[in-house]
């Protein structure tokens, strides 16, 4: 049953993968989406024009039987997603802030289109368990289209694969973090191709000048706050950019689903193993920090801090 008479609902906008407001990826959260239909959710998500808008609901009977604490539906401005990373952490933060009490102490279980996603609290951070990721090679046509759209030479792409953990990311590893940060993609071509394109590059050494150039904005903030030593010790090993032109957002500031699939893929390639810190968002004026860890069972966890930016009510 869908709502025919709008009513005021608790609402918040949070910033994800940051401890400092307006430096991460914003998420709009409708904290009571009971009786809203998919068309209403989609229309509101298009209106917010954020990369994602989340709607909290009670779990389904099947989900509750398996331990789900709440259910979330996630929409971009143009479509519903079965799973997305920063909406998972942001929704969990909003659910807890709204008085949600998990069935299991220390573990929150989210139900979404992908299934059940465990989330754990680690101090000020929340972290979700990386969902299963399907990895398959790109076709020659897909790789050629992405190469043209990114404006790089074929030899500058070290690895490429299609990564699917809910969203499908056509993903490449570039040879140089500076090259990654300098990309000026053809977003019109990406939109015509219909691909979400993930890009990343590894920092080889913590103190290499090239790596520090790519992180100049963070270093400047560290000097300004007298925290340079802490910043250097916590430098990222991976730089990430995510291009989402088909969703109406040219570049996503910080992307949990992409970082989750990257963690799985890069571990499989033997290029990078948790724990590590990834950075995303510099090219759109953000400073996203994604903390990737691995537990004793080999499960990967994608974590970050979440902060409130706007709280109130929305008429829906």
pLDDT digits (tens, 9 = 90+) for 33-48: 999 999 999 999 999 9
Q: Is the domain of 49 the same as that of 13? A: yes
Q: How far apart are CA 131 and CA 300, in angstroms?
A: 9
Q: Is the domain of 50 the same as that of 109? A: yes
Is 169 strand, coil or helix? Answer: strand
Q: How far apart are CA 231 and CA 238, in angstroms?
A: 15
What average pLDDT does range 14-18 have in this prediction? Answer: 98
Kindly state whether residue 291 falls inside one of the protein's structural domains: yes
Q: How far apart are CA 80 and CA 54, in angstroms?
A: 10
Cβ atoms of 108 and 102 within 8 Å: the answer is yes
Structure confidence at residue 122 (pLDDT): 85
Q: Is the domain of 141 the same as that of 287? A: yes
Q: Is the domain of 213 the same as that of 191? A: yes
Q: How far apart are CA 139 and CA 144, in angstroms?
A: 8
Terminal C-alpha separation, the chain: 14
Q: Is the domain of 43 the same as that of 88? A: yes
Q: 79 CB contacts (<8 Å, ≥6 apart)?
A: 42, 247
For residue 306, what are the β-bridge partners? 16
Query: Does residue 59 carry a pLDDT above 70?
Result: yes
Structure confidence at residue 212 (pLDDT): 41
What digits encode the pLDDT tens for the residues 146-188? 999 999 999 999 999 999 999 999 999 999 999 999 999 999 9
Indicate the pLDDT class of residue 1, thresholds 50, 70 and 90. low
Q: 166 CB contacts (<8 Å, ≥6 apart)?
A: 81, 82, 83, 84, 112, 113, 114, 131, 257
Indicate the pLDDT class of residue 316, thresholds 50, 70 and 90. very high
Q: Which two tokens stand for residue 307?
A: 């902060």
Kindly state whether residue 3 falls inside one of the protein's structural domains: no
Q: Is the domain of 140 the same as that of 186? A: yes
Parent domain of 167: 134-296
Q: Is the domain of 24 the same as that of 112? A: yes
Of the chain, the percentage scoring pLDDT greater than 90 comes to 86
Q: How far apart are CA 303 and CA 119, in angstroms?
A: 9
CATH of the domain at 225: 3.10.310.10
Q: Is the domain of 149 the same as that of 199? A: yes
Q: Which two tokens stand for residue 184?
A: 């000026």
Q: How far apart are CA 95 and CA 97, in angstroms?
A: 5
Query: Does residue 216 carry a pLDDT above 70?
Result: no
Indicate the pLDDT class of residue 231, thresholds 50, 70 and 90. very low
What digits encode the pLDDT tens for the residues 263-274? 999 999 999 999
Query: Does residue 227 carry a pLDDT above 50?
Result: no
Q: Is the domain of 68 the same as that of 207? A: no
What digits encode the pLDDT tens for the residues 86-100? 999 999 999 999 999
Indicate the pLDDT class of residue 289, thresholds 50, 70 and 90. very high
Q: How many CB atoms lie within 10 A of CB 271?
A: 16
What digits encode the pLDDT tens for the residues 89-145? 999 999 999 999 999 988 999 999 999 999 999 888 999 999 999 999 999 999 999
Domains: count for the chain: 2
CA 176, 181, 187, 193: dihedral to nearest 10 degrees?
30
Q: Using the structure block, give the residue that is written with the tokens 């802030």.
A: 97
Query: Does residue 232 carry a pLDDT above 60?
Result: no
What mean pLDDT value characterizes the chain?
Answer: 91
Query: Does residue 26 carry a pLDDT above 70?
Result: yes
Report CA-CA distances (Å) from 204 to 152, 175, 294. 21, 10, 21
Q: Using the structure block, give the residue that is written with the tokens 């829906």.
A: 316
Structure confidence at residue 234 (pLDDT): 78
Query: Does residue 306 carry a pLDDT above 90?
Result: yes
Q: Is the domain of 162 the same as that of 280? A: yes
Q: Is the domain of 122 the same as that of 141? A: no
Q: Which two tokens stand for residue 216?
A: 């100049």
Structure confidence at residue 245 (pLDDT): 93
Compute the half-sphere exposure of residue 289: CA atoms within 13 Å on the CB side of its CA. Answer: 17
Query: Does residue 307 carry a pLDDT above 80?
Result: yes
Q: How far apart are CA 33 and CA 40, in angstroms?
A: 10
Angle at 313 between CA 309 and CA 315, to 5 degrees: 130
**Helix or strand run (H / E) with residue 182:** helix 177-182
What average pLDDT does range 40-57 have in this prediction? Answer: 97
Compute the half-sphere exposure of residue 91: CA atoms within 13 Å on the CB side of its CA. Answer: 33
């Amino acid at each position: 049953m869908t709502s025919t008479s709008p009513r005021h609902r608790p609402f918040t906008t949070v910033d994800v993968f940051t401890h400092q407001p307006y430096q991460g990826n914003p998420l709009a959260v409708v904290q009571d989406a009971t009786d809203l239909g998919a068309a209403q959710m989609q229309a509101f998500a298009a209106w917010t024009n954020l990369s994602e808008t989340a709607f909290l609901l009670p779990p389904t009977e099947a989900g509750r039987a398996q331990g789900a604490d709440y259910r979330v539906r996630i929409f971009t401005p143009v479509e519903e997603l079965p799973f997305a990373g920063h909406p998972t952490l942001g929704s969990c933060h909003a659910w807890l802030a709204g008085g949600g009490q998990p069935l299991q102490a220390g573990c929150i279980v989210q139900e979404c289109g992908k299934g059940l996603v465990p989330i754990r609290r680690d101090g000020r951070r929340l972290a979700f368990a990386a969902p299963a990721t399907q990895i398959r090679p790109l076709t020659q046509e897909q790789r050629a289209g992405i190469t043209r759209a990114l404006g790089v030479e074929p030899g500058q792409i070290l690895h490429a694969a299609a990564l699917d953990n809910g969203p499908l990311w056509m993903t490449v590893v570039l040879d140089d973090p500076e090259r990654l940060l300098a990309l000026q993609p053809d977003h019109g071509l990406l939109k015509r191709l219909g691909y979400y394109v993930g890009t990343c590059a590894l920092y080889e050494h913590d103190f290499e000048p090239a790596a520090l150039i790519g992180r100049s904005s963070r270093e400047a903030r560290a000097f300004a706050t007298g925290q340079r030593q802490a910043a250097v010790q916590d430098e990222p090993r991976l730089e990430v950019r995510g291009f989402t032109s088909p969703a109406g957002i040219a570049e996503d500031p910080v992307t949990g689903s992409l970082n989750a699939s990257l963690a799985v893929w890069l571990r499989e390639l033997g290029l990078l193993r948790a724990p590590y810190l990834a950075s995303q968002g510099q090219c759109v004026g953000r400073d996203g920090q994604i903390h990737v860890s691995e537990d004793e069972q080999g499960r990967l966890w994608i974590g970050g801090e979440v902060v409130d930016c706007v709280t109130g009510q929305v008429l829906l």
